[in-house]
Amino acid sequence: MKRSMIVLATILSMIIFSTPAIAADAPKILLILRDPMPQYIDNMLTKEVNVMKSMLEKANFKVVAATTNGLPIKGSTVTLTPDLKLSDVKGDDYVGVIIACMGSGEYRPVSPIAVSIAKQAITQGKPVAASHSSVNVLAEAGVLAGKRYAFRIDPLGIGRRPDDRFTGAIYGGTGLVQDGNIITCGICPVGAASYGLPDGTVELTQAFITALTTQK
Domain parsing of the chain, residue ranges: 23-215
188: nearest Cα among 69, 127, 105, 67? 105
The pLDDT of residue 103 is: 86
pLDDT band at 107 (very low <50, low <70, confident <90, very high): confident
> Looking at residues 186-191, what average pLDDT do you find?
93
Q: Candidates 3.10.20.30, 3.40.50.880, 3.40.50.720, 3.65.10.10; correct CATH number of 23-215?
A: 3.40.50.880
Q: What pTM was computed for the model?
A: 0.88
Q: Phi first, then psi: give them for residue 79, nearest 5 degrees.
A: -130, 135
Radius of gyration for the chain, computed over Cα atoms and rounded to the nearest angstrom: 18
The pLDDT of residue 20 is: 57
pLDDT over 60 (residue 17): no
> Looking at residues 58-77, what average pLDDT do you find?
96
**Start-to-end CA span in the chain (Å):** 50
